[in-house]
A = this chain, B = another copy of it.
Amino acid sequence: MRVFIVKANEAHTDYDFSLKDLPGTSGRIDLICRALNSAFHLSHSFRKNVRVYVTLLGPPSPPKTIRFEGPKLRPKILNPDELSIAKVIIKALNAGKNLKGSSTKELEVLPGVYVSNMTFEDVIRKNIRMNLYVLEEGGADIMKVKFPRNNVAFILGDHIGLSEEDLKTLEGIAKKISIGPKAYLTSHVISYVNIHLDRIGVP
């Protein structure tokens, strides 16, 4: 299983935004949509071996975490384009209104799509037994990293990135890695990591 954990610092936690202008009104849910496209989609095929957690931390009721579970997801539900993925996120946010308090209990919204009130730290805690990697400029070159055959989890920020505090929390827990000499978009990083794991034969 490949896991991607995305921290979306400003992504709205209720459907109070416009599908006509995701970048301007949703706290960059467009970015999350492209990240999910990169995580799951292949040409005429779908990566069943991927799990994605997105933690949304924008207004009005953070945190909300949506988990996308490759083995159970119906490819027809998660189309490649931004708008149809955004509609799945909206469905999850609408269902998430019924979640009370700080429980990590998840609600199944659609097959393979779960919403909860989990914080970013909760998600990390849930994945603590995985081999954790944090994608950061200046990290170890991905080409030189020896990945285990299984249970790899990659932590990524959004346009704002991970905070100093996040990186401190992750110190000693997650290995800092980097895919190249520039600062790349979250979705491009996920594409690159997925293809790299394909190349080196990590399932």
Report A's interface with B, CB cutoff 8 A: 19-23, 30-31, 34, 37-38, 41-45, 79-84, 159, 179-185, 187-188, 191-192, 194-195, 198-199
Contact = CB atoms under 8 A, between A and B. Distances in A.
Closest 7 CB pairs of A and B: A43-B183, A188-B191, A30-B81, A191-B191, A180-B195, A82-B82, A180-B198
A125 B187 CA distance: 33
A128 to B, nearest CB: 28
A180 B188 CA distance: 15
Given A34-B34, A198-B180, A80 B185 contact: yes
Q: Kindly report how many copies of this chain are found in the complex they form together.
A: 2
B181 A199 contact: yes
Contacts of A159: 43-44
Given A81-B30, A198-B182, A199-B181, A188 B38 contact: yes
A79 B180 contact: no
13 contacts: A21-B83, A22-B83, A23-B79, A23-B81, A38-B188, A42-B182, A42-B183, A45-B182, A82-B83, A180-B199, A181-B198, A184-B195, A188-B191
Nearest to A158: B43
Contacts of A44: 159, 183
Given A159-B43, A159-B44, A185-B43, A81 B22 contact: yes
A27 to B, nearest CB: 13
A182 B182 CA distance: 26
Contact of A184 (B42, B181, B184, B187): B42
A180 to B, nearest CB: 5
A201 to B, nearest CB: 8
Nearest to A37: B34
